[in-house]
């Protein structure tokens, strides 16, 4: 699959490169695994020399040997004698960049925790000594989001706030997914688009794997995902066990419950069978896998709370792959596909609501977008969108089929919202139905 989108991120990296010619720059690129961080940096700097250091899990002296070869090959200059420690090489490059601009890209930066933890404090010391007189464009990225956040946003860590930019790479937007399908399957249907969004969430690597395999219809996508040699089947564990560590079992139970529609703390605890307050806090604030949602204009910070998994792929993985993993253990892929197809309409209906929220966010036509539900569970509105600049608000009902949407019922729910919140007084109110026909 060819490279798509990322124009804003590439423009930022180009700007950073220009600034670095006068003032040292330290950019942190983060985002979940498979999102395309490394590809983004390579694309941005494809037409210029760039030093690439990959932090593999091996002895520090062996890494240094690799890095010295990279310097000699890319810059055409000899380095010092055999280096045993990364910080010797880093200091060499910092000194070298006093007289010449250098772009240094360090990938899997969090792995220095395993190689040599003192690297971070040594880098802080060297950066503080030389950065005000060098012309280095230093970019670091890592695939374990929580560790990368800790390195640069935890006040106790030596590199806290040393970065000059903190760039988070996001999934592809709905418009980019449409662009990709238009390129590789011009006759795609709304069902195909919704399936691509539901299964991948716009994560670049997952989209690439499907597109490169020619899986651009819902049926072909499902066949590609659920088969003997599919990387998708083990992907949830591959990513999240490394994030969560030895407590992953509790986290997986929580995420599985949320994926199955248990969204309140009491519902989740009834499934998990234990108190989970601390786990929910870590999932939300440290790992950023879940989000705590409340109705728009809810005054209490603790009442009427729902927890949601932010990543579409994780919802799909926990809802189907993890839940029915016993089928995979006996190679019964056809039964798993049958179950996904059986429950797909309900699952994709929830994904369709997410899809349209992303579309509305992408349009930038509103100043506030959210959902609303009352505490009794009698009224719920899929999307409420406000534009406080021109005193307008729109209430949306989302369903797969337009015929199943009753605008009069939506108006009744909106009336309940207006009574309960007291908001949107004097606003121009409108009501809209959104279905797969509007994708």
DSSP letter string over 147-161?
HHHHHHH-TTSTTTT
For residues 81 and 212, which has the higher predicted lDDT (pLDDT)?
212
pLDDT band at 77 (very low <50, low <70, confident <90, very high): confident
Mean pLDDT value across residues 344-356: 96
Q: How high is the mean pLDDT of the chain?
A: 94
Q: Selecting from 1.10.10, 3.30.450, 1.10.3470, 1.10.287, what CATH number does the domain 232-330 have? A: 1.10.10
Q: Cα torsion at 220, 223, 226, 231 (round to 10°)?
A: -60
Mean pLDDT value across residues 341-368: 96
Q: Looking at domain 7-168, which CATH architecture does it have? A: 3-Layer(aba) Sandwich (3.40)
Determine how many CB atoms are found less than 10 A away from the CB of residue 41: 25
Which pLDDT does position 78 carry in this prediction? 79
pLDDT band at 146 (very low <50, low <70, confident <90, very high): confident
Query: Is the predicted pLDDT of residue 28 greater than 80, yes or no?
Result: yes
In this predicted model, what pLDDT tens digit does every residue of 249-272 receive, in sequence order? 999 999 999 999 999 999 999 999
Q: Which residues contact 65 (CB under 8 A, 6 or more apart)?
A: 82, 83
Q: Is 3.40.190.10 the CATH classification of the domain at 365-438?
A: no
Written in H, E and C, the secondary structure of 194-230 is: HHHHHHHCCCHHHHHHHHHCCCCCHHHHHHHHCCCCC
Query: Is the predicted pLDDT of residue 368 greater than 80, yes or no?
Result: yes
pLDDT band at 55 (very low <50, low <70, confident <90, very high): very high
Helix axes of 190-200 and 174-184: crossing angle, nearest 10 degrees = 120
Asked if 413 and 380 touch (Cβ cutoff 8 Å), the reply is yes
CA pair distance 167, 425, nearest whole angstrom: 39
Instruction: Report the candidate in 260, 438, 267 with the shortest Cα–Cα distance to residue 356.
Output: 438
Which pLDDT does position 225 carry in this prediction? 98
In this predicted model, what pLDDT tens digit does every residue of 87-143 receive, in sequence order? 999 999 999 999 999 999 999 999 999 999 999 999 999 999 999 999 999 999 998
Domain boundaries, the chain: 7-168, 232-330, 365-438
pLDDT band at 81 (very low <50, low <70, confident <90, very high): confident
Which pLDDT does position 360 carry in this prediction? 97
């Amino acid at each position: 699959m060819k490279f798509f989108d990322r124009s804003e991120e590439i423009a930022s990296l180009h700007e950073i490169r220009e600034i670095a010619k006068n003032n040292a720059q330290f950019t942190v690129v983060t985002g979940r695994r498979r999102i395309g961080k490394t590809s983004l940096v390579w694309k941005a700097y494809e037409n210029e020399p760039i030093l690439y250091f990959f932090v593999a899990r091996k002895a520090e002296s062996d890494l240094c040997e690799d890095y010295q070869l990279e310097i000699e090959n890319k810059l055409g200059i000899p380095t010092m004698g055999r280096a045993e420690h990364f910080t010797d090489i880093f200091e060499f490059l910092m000194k070298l960049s006093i007289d010449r601009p250098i772009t240094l890209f360090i990938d899997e930066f969090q792995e220095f925790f395993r190689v040599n933890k003192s690297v971070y404090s040594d880098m802080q010391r060297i950066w503080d000594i030389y950065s005000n007189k060098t012309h280095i464009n230093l970019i670091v990225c890592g695939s374990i989001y929580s560790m990368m956040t800790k390195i640069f946003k935890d006040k106790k860590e030596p590199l806290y706030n040393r970065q000059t930019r903190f760039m988070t790479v996001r999934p592809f937007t709905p418009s980019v997914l449409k662009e990709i399908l238009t390129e590789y399957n011009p006759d795609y249907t709304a069902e195909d688009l919704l399936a691509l969004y539901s299964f991948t969430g716009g994560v670049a690597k997952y989209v690439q794997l499907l597109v490169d395999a020619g899986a651009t219809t819902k049926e072909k996508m499902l066949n590609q995902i659920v088969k003997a040699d599919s990387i998708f089947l083990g992907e949830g564990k591959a990513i999240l066990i490394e994030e969560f560590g030895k407590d992953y079992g509790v986290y997986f139970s929580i995420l599985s419950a949320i994926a199955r529609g248990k969204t309140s703390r009491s519902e989740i605890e009834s499934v998990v069978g234990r108190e989970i307050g601390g786990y929910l806090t870590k999932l939300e604030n440290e790992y950023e896998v879940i989000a705590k949602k409340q109705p728009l204009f809810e005054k209490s910070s603790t009442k009427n709370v729902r927890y949601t998994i932010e990543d579409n792929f994780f919802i799909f993985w926990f809802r189907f792959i993890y839940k029915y993993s016993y089928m995979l253990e006996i190679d019964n892929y056809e039964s798993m596909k049958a179950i996904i197809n059986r429950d797909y309409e309900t699952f994709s209906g929830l994904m369709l609501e997410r899809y349209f929220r992303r579309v509305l966010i992408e349009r930038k036509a509103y100043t506030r977008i959210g959902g609303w539900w009352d505490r009794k569970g009698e009224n719920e509105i899929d999307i409420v969108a406000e534009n406080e600049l021109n005193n307008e608000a729109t209430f949306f009902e989302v369903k797969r089929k337009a015929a199943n949407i009753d605008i009069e019922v939506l108006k009744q729910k909106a009336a309940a919202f207006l009574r309960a919140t007291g908001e949107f007084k004097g606003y121009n109110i409108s009501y809209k139905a959104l279905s797969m026909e509007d994708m």
